[in-house]
Structures are given as C-alpha cells and as structure tokens.
Amino acid sequence: MHNKIYSHICHMNIGSCFLSQGKLSFPASSNIRVPREVRIGCVSRHVKAVMRKKSGTSNNNPNKAQNAKAIVIVKRSGGGGLLTNLVRDGVEGIEELVGKTLILELVSNELDSKTNLEKKTIKGDAHKTEEKEDEVYYEATFELPTEFGKVGAVLVENEHHNEMFLKSIVFDGFPDGPVHLTCDSWVQPKYDNPVKRVFFTDKSYLPSQTPSGLRRLREEELELLRGNGEGERKSSDRIYDYDVYNDLGDPDSNINLKRPVLGGSKQYPYPRRCRTGREHTDSDPSSEKRSLDFYVPRDETFSDVKQSQFTMSTISSGLSAILESLDAILTDQNLGFRSFEDIDTIYKEGFKLPPLKGNGLNFLQRTVPRLIEAANDSQNLLRFDTPETLKRDKFFWFSDEEFARETLAGVNPYSIQLVKEWPLRSKLESQIYGPPESAITREVIEPHILGYGTIEEAIKEKKLYMLDYHDLLLPYVSKVREIEGTTLYGSRTLFFLTKQGTLKPLAIELTRPPIDGKPQWKQVFTPASYSISHSTNLWLWRLAKAHVLAHDAGVHELINHWLRTHAVMEPFVVATNRQLSVMHPIYKLLHPHLTYTLAINSLAREILINGNGIIEKSFSPNKYSMELSSAAYDQLWRFDLQALPNDLIDRGIAVVDPNAPHGLKLTIEDYPFANDGLLIWDAIKQWITEYVNHYYPTPSIIESDQELQPWWTEIRTVGHGDKSEEPWWPNLKTPKDLIDIITTIAWTASAHHAAVNFTQYTYGGYFPNRPNIVRTKIPTEDPSKEEWETFLNNPEQTLLESFPSQIQATTMMLVFNILSYHSPDEEYIGQYLKPSWAEDPTIKASFERFNGRLKEIEGIIDSRNADCNMKNRHGVGVVPYEQMKPFSGPGITGKGIPYSVSI
C-alpha cells in the first residue's frame, strides 16, 4: 500500500507532491492515509525545488555560507463553530499583516571549539504561505555560517494570539540532505508562556551520545516537563507529576459521595495518576475538588478526529433520545424489562420513551457531560445496533457451550485457570467468612468427568478449570448488600475439558458469608441435564449463570480492563515523559504505546469510575467498585505476570516446553486468545529485541544510561510506590532485562487492551449474555414462601427482574458501544514507520520485518478461523475470534490492535 502511494506521488509534479500531504490530494472516498515518511519526503522535495528556483543553483560549496529553507506545518484546530472560526481567521489575518508570526531559532549540534560554549542561534521569521483544509504552511529562510555545523534543534516562539499545533518542521539546503523535526505538540502564545519551545531533530541519541550543543537543552526540557510539584495545573501546561486517586468522590456536594483515597496507604494501594493540583474539599481534606475540566498535559489531549468519535458514536447509539426522555424513566430507576420481547425491540423498531419531565439535569447529563453536545434529535426513540452475536443466533446466550467458550474466546479471556488442588478451600478467615470448605464435592463432579474415575486423575491430566471469584468478592458481600438494588456472592465455576477440546460447565457455587445473625450460606448449582427436577433446576442454573456472568463482567471491567491496562499504564506514561528525553531511543519506541492514555483515564475519572458514576450505578459492587479494584491490585497484580507467557503459566494454562512453539505447551490446545496472542507477543518481542540490541550492544551501556535508570527507578518507587518493595520487580542491568520490560509494557498497552476492549459491545451489547449487575438474590437463599412460589410460577420473570434495569442496561450498552469503536484516525501496532525509526537504516529494516510479520499473522488467524476442528473459535452462530488481528477499519469490528490503551 505504502509503495503504491509513494510511486503515485513520485510521478506527480512538485506542486502536486506538496499538495499530496493534505486531504485534498485524494478523493474523500478513497480513505487513503499517506504514510508520514512519504509526506515528509514530499515536503523535502518541495523545499528543494523552491531553493533551486530562488537561487538558480544548489549550494555545494562547503566554504560558503549555507542557505537553508524551513517548511513548518501547523495543524488547524477543528474546534469552534462558524463564528468562532471566522473570528479566529480574522485575528490570524490581522496578526500576519502586523508581522505576527512564528519565530524559529536554529541550534547547532556543536559547541564553539574556541570558547567551548554554545554557538549563537540563527533566528528567522516563518510566515504563512499556504493553507489547506486542515493544515497551514509557514516558510522561513536562513543563512548559516560555515562554522555553524549541523542543526540539532529549533527554538520556537508563537507570536500569534492562539496556541498552535506544530506537526513538523523540515529544513533543506544542507549538503547531507534534509533535516526533519517531528513536533506533534501545542505551542502556546509567547505572551502567555515566554519560555521558548525546543524541538529536536528526529535522530535518536542516548544521553551519553548527546551532541555537546544540545546537552543543556535536553536536560532543561526534562526539568520543565517535571514541574515543581506545586500549584494547580492549567489546561495549557505540559507538566507530568504524580498523585493518588483522591478525586473520585465529591463529598462537598453530598457526603455520601465521599470515597476513600486510592494509593499511598496499606489499606488501599493503587498506581499513581497524573497530578492535577486542585484544592481539597471542605468536607474531606484528603479529597481533591472536582471541576468541569480534568487536567491532562496539553499534548496528551485527544485529536479532533478522536474527540469526534464520541459525538458520532453517541448519535448512532441513540443518546439523543435518552437525553430527551430519561428523566421520565428515572422516576423509577429500578424499572426493568417486562419480557425478552421488550429487550428485542431496542434493536429492531426501538422502543418509545416517555417525554421529558421538568428541566432538571437528568442522569446522563450529570454523568456524561462531554456527550450531551451531540444531542440534537428530538425523537423519543431508543434503538441500538444489533450485536454481531445476536445477529448470528438469537439464543446464543442460552447455550452452556457458549458460556464456556467465552471464557476462552470472549471479552474476558484472562480469568480461566487450571484447578491444581483438591478439595477447593477458601483462604479467608473462617471466623469472619465461615467454613472454608467448598460445597463442590466429588459426588457432584465425578459422575460427569467422562473417562476419569476420580477428580484427582482429572486434575493430574489437567482436565479441570475454574473461574474463581470466591475469595476476591466474598469480603464485599455484606457491604454491597446494604445497598438497595444490588446483591453479591462469592462464586466458583468449574469446567471440564472434553475430548473435543471444548470446556463443559460442571457446577457453580455461590457463597454468602455470615450476615445479620445468619450463618454462612452456600449452594452448588449444576446444568439441568444433571438433575431429575429438570424445569426448576434449569431456571436455577440460568440464574446462577447470571450471577457468575455479573461477577465476570465486574472483574473484567474493573480489573482486567481498567486496572491492568489503564490504571497501571498511567505511571509509565508519566515517568517516560519525566525521565526520558524525546531524543532517547526508548522514548521513541514507547511513545506510540502511551498516546491518549492520560486523556482516556482522565475521562474515566470524570464520568465512569467516579462516585455515583456510570460504573457504580451499573455494576454489582456499586460504591465499592474502586475499592475492589484496589484489593485486586494489592492481591493479584504483579508486573512480571503481565507478560503473556508468564500469565499463562501462572494460571496453569501453559507449561514450559522448549520444543513447543513459543516455548510453551498449552494445556487447552484450542485457546484462541492464547494461540493468537502468543503470535503477537513473539512479533512484538522480536521487534523490540532488534531495536534494543541496536542501541544497547552491551550491559554497561544500560547500567550507565543516566535517563533510563531513573526512569525504571521512578516507575517502581513512585508510580507504583505501594509495591516498590516487591521482590518480583525485574532488575534493569542487561539488554535482556530491558527487552522483557519494554515488551511487557508494549503488550499491555496494545494486545492485552485490545483483547479485553474491542468486543465489549459484541458480547455485552445484548446484556442477558453478560449482565453487568444482578439485582436480586437467588431464590433458594432463605426464601419466603411467597418468593419461592413466585419463582416456581414464573421463573422467567424472576430472571428478568434480576437483570439490570432499563437505565443500567442501556447506559452500559451505550458505553460498550463507544469503547468498542475504532476511530478513523486509529493507529494500529506496526502499521506505519515513525520518522525517527526511518532515520536509522537498521531500525527501519527491523520495523519493516515487524510490519511484514503482523501481516502474516493476519493470514494465520484467518486460516485458524476457517479450520472446523478449532471449535472454540469456529461454529454455527459463533463470532470468529479476531481480537488479535492487528489491523482494522473504523467502527465496531471486533479486531485491530491499536498501539495504546486509548479507546
């Protein structure tokens, strides 16, 4: 694709080649994205042409002063309406007339050989020369004395009234060819921020290799990015610092919205977030006040295209209808669906909502302020796209086989684990939580493990697997049950690996600890075929599955998605910007994996995980949701186990086998997530291995790197300071250490996140398949006579009443729809060569191999999905497993691995 575009551009004249970098070069319907290296090449050729046209000859005499020309590309901001844009354009026009412009100062790589001081910069004004649909071009000319040497950096001052987004600067006229600077950064007006912005060339330098003329600037730029840890951050700041999660509650508006501080204590350990520095609340001095805007460093904010994703997805999902009508529904927030036919209508003709009552802010207007701008549809109709799973099989969610299959190939493939010990026992204190022995006995299990006489034999042959949410959830059961409209159990679900390579559910155990003077309660439920009382047991089994699915949905969203990808990545983003210069090769390697992470995490703190936010209102743990996430971080999270091979081994899903592909033998051979994930893991690791070994041929260079070592120290001791003393943190002494660390970070941000994110609507868009909350206890737990008769007479209604309410279901369907959506500007792992990687032929060749391998993997996954013998990823009514396919188009596709954990 890239070669075809490049060939096409190279056969165009210089003017067209220059135009090709904007959207006007190709028809809007072509959907072609010009690779950055091609784009910059076209600009360079344009600069050369201008130079030759103006000077008549090229400057090849090394004894004469060098004439250089710069092309500066500025991205136009899409924000504001017609009036705003007219005013902005008018102001910019006046500023140009009175000489307001961009001031560039060229910085030499070298110190003055006589004085050993930095050489004097060469200053020039850059004036606007051309405007495109979304870009503005500035040009500046410079005359450099022969002793100036090579340009290593540019200082930029913005004399305009507004901030400007600099995309790139290209210089030409030098004997060694053009000099590229990739900026991709906002530059504030000099009158608001007098500090000159520095941009370095795309060439990578380890700290010890930094050209002498750039060392001071490299160090000073990092100092600016670190800040001094004081004051409240402004939206225009570029400061990265740490703080605890002390802004989830809002006690000043309601004391019931007070939430514990996560991080900085033994009771609630947690990764750190980016510091905002707001004032603390009056009601709780430990909590930070919430505001309309949640600070993220200026360069971390969403692009215009990604920001518009929320608008487009929201309109298509019917948010406008909800906003017009939701207050009427909220007169009874517990209103559920009366029948499965009512659920079906929200995908077919939609269902009519009552008119809005009153003028007060409704639920979504309070909790989703960024989305209400899209509401302009006056129809009171709510209609969602039919998820692909439902399109293929209306009753897919009924199936026990699908229930088991989704533990291997659904949206949460990280929880299934091997049963290693028998009998099953809790590790919680029996004096508090009751007897530790599980109610799942051999008498329940052994009749159904065909081909094995005893459980011990099945365990020895690695045939028993489990979803174990017992000890994690049980401590929260009593607290959660004090809240109206939700309930909770500890749960275990046991599966048997059949000869066909699929999992078969054997039993579900639900446990309630001693509560309100009542002793511990626990019960085992089995599939209907195991029981003489078929009809009653069938509905009890379905209800038990609903509870387990709600547990799985909560663990997925709060732990395997939010905690393990978003929250734990934030300290890596902050530390990388604080400790690694943009010139550092490891910064350039990591940067794609960090893009937009702080922005999406900030949005989550604003509307999703905050007190009384969407997660609390829609998931079983309610106000204890983030406490549960903290407990999981404390008990379960280890950096070394985030590496896919280590995770599979830890869960008993794989064993080390040097003779097996990837050095691992899977205990479940047909495990789509692991099968495909290991291909991606190996491809990432090979790319990173070649990259790291190129810059660090010996361990001594690693150990002496004055930026890399503080980076790793700060991640452990500050960003994840609550776990700083854990023995499992890897050392950073050798190239292998660095390869393992970077591969784990890259995997977590890209493939791990993709595996748990982009099929949320596919599997959760029809909520009976994955109810995010179960609101009522199971009928067999201390039932009254009336409750039991109601269940016996109408078990379907009992199941419907246990499901999420209408507002809970539709809200989460909306959220899943947005989170599952790929924006048009999504950049997928290994898709495009970065300018800095193109600067080095060795790195460029490595990346091209990486890109080629990812394309091969796509073909391998397609062939696996076509193999009828791989039953966990192929079959009638089953959505093929494509989460690990690297590339995707926009929309909800169920595939595609973006670089970072942004949606």
Given the residues 547, 551, 556, 566, select the one marked as catalytic. Answer: 566
DSSP 663: G
- Chain centroid to CA 309: how far? 15
Dihedral of the CA atoms 774, 777, 779, 781 (nearest 10)? 150
Place of tokens 């005499």: 61
Distance CA 527, CA 517 (A): 32
Reply yes or no on whether 757 is catalytic.
Answer: yes
Distance CA 59, CA 66 (A): 7
Name the phi and psi angles at 230, rounded to 5.
Answer: -125, 155
Distance CA 410, CA 881 (A): 8
Distance CA 190, CA 725 (A): 44
Question: Is residue 720 exposed (0-12), middle (13-18) or buried (19+ Cβ within 10 Å)?
Answer: buried
Reply yes or no on whether 359 is catalytic.
Answer: no
**Distance (Å) of CA 576 to CA 434, 699, 763:** 46, 21, 35
Reply yes or no on whether 566 is catalytic.
Answer: yes
Given the residues 109, 362, 610, 757, select the one marked as catalytic. Answer: 757
Classify 465 as helix, strand or coil. Answer: strand
Place of tokens 């790139």: 168
DSSP 111: B
Distance CA 268, CA 752 (A): 25
Based on its alpha-carbon atoms, the radius of gyration of the chain, rounded to whole angstroms, reads 29
Distance CA 812, CA 761 (A): 9
Given the residues 547, 556, 752, 753, select the one marked as catalytic. Answer: 753
Hey, how many other C-beta atoms are within 10 angstroms of the C-beta on 531? 15
Whether the upstream peptide bond of residue 672 has omega within 30° of 0, thus cis, is no
- CA angle, 65 as apex, 62 and 67 as ends, to 5°? 105
User: Taking a C-beta distance cutoff of 8 angstroms, is the pair 836, 182 a contact?
Assistant: yes
Element counts in the chain: helices (H) and strands (E) = 33, 19
Distance CA 620, CA 630 (A): 16
User: Taking a C-beta distance cutoff of 8 angstroms, is the pair 389, 403 a contact?
Assistant: no
Hey, how many other C-beta atoms are within 10 angstroms of the C-beta on 743? 21
Given the residues 561, 584, 720, 822, select the one marked as catalytic. Answer: 561
Active site residues: 561, 566, 753, 757, 903
